[in-house]
Amino acid sequence: MLSLLLASCSDSAAPIYQGSNIRVLKTPLSADLEKEFQRHSYQLDNLDRGVPPLILQTLPRDLPNITSNSKKKRIFFQSLLPMILLANNEIRQERDQVLKFQQIVNRGATLTEDQLQTLTALARRYKIKSDSMTSRPAFTELLMRVDTIPPGLALAQAANESAWGTSRFSQLANNLFGEWTFKSGTGIVPEDRPDGATYEVRRFDNIYESIRSYLLNLNTHFAYQELRQLRAEARAENRPVDGFKLAEGLFRYSIRGEAYVKDLQSLIRLNRLDRFAAASLRVRS
């Protein structure tokens, strides 16, 4: 039976969202999840009312058994889109804070102690090191990192990395993007891990936490500096941030390099994932 729980508002459990109550869904079967989508009148081809704020505890356990590729893809995209938008909403609010603090400093004013603590916490979260967090270079670097990822690109990577939500790690560890941990015993040991290697595939409490971690990884890891640069250039030129273009900055995400980028771009194009660029969260159910 479908169990619906109201999410708490802690930093690790639920996003900051000024709208209808976020619902956390425990959905053991895809049929239950589809009924929930129907109850919310949620269809990928008609998002005029917005996307309902839903968080999945896990992906449906029977997702690997669905033989229809079109049905599997639809359920997968419907499941992840709300959480990607929620996670981006968190980042957008963080970015607004940074911009506000930058404007205060540019006017020659001084940040309050609370504002400086907030700025310092954001810098720590986004791995910015600076002798002065209110300096122009610090703000520039922080704004390069505190920014959203196009939903289409996130969906393409999730599909690629998790085999449409059917992989062992996505099903057992809620890990959609193959993220590692080096804390022994906290993850799942890959079956093909080389002798002597110590990494494990990280476990997440729910699917939403995997998405949040993935976005933070793209926004902080040195390997994705080019993605952040492409995004910053688009912002500076007042152009839309395009997921197809940003995929070029992910050639270090996989040992396959440019072939991996081409795969992501193919997923975006063939599944028309750029159509979700303007998708927004539903304010009222």
CATH of the domain at 70: 1.10.530.10
pLDDT at 41 over 90: yes
Say what the pLDDT of residue 6 is.
31
Instruction: Give the span between the Cα atoms of 205 and 87, in whole angstroms.
Output: 15
Q: In what order do the strands lie in the sheet with 23-26?
A: 3-6, 23-26, 54-56
Instruction: Give the span between the Cα atoms of 202 and 182, in whole angstroms.
Output: 9
Residue 200 lies in a domain: yes
Residue 280 lies in a domain: no
pLDDT at 97 over 70: yes
pLDDT category at 16 given cuts 50, 70, 90 is low
Residue 284 lies in a domain: no
Query: Comparing C-alpha atoms, which of 50, 48, 26 is closest to residue 36?
Result: 26
Residue 20 lies in a domain: yes
Continuous H helices in the chain: 30-39, 69-106, 113-125, 136-145, 151-162, 168-173, 207-220, 225-236, 243-246, 258-270
Residue 88 lies in a domain: yes
Work out how many domains the chain is built from and give that number.
Answer: 1
Residue 283 lies in a domain: no
Phi first, then psi, for residue 99 (nearest 5°) are: -65, -40
Which domain covers residue 262, as residue numbers? 3-272
Query: Comparing C-alpha atoms, which of 113, 81, 111, 83 is closest to residue 98?
Result: 111
Residue 279 lies in a domain: no
| Contact by Cβ (8 Å): 122, 146 | yes
Q: Which of 13-22, 63-72, 188-197 has the lowest mean pLDDT?
A: 13-22
pLDDT category at 107 given cuts 50, 70, 90 is very high
| Contact by Cβ (8 Å): 131, 155 | no
pLDDT at 137 over 60: yes
Q: Using CB atoms within 10 A of its CB, is residue 273 exposed (0-12), middle (13-18) or buried (19+)? A: buried
- Long-range pairs for 69-76 at CB < 8 Å and ≥24 separation? 72/164, 72/165, 72/166, 73/159, 73/164, 73/271, 74/44, 75/30, 75/33, 75/34, 76/158, 76/159, 76/164, 76/165
| This prediction's pTM | 0.91
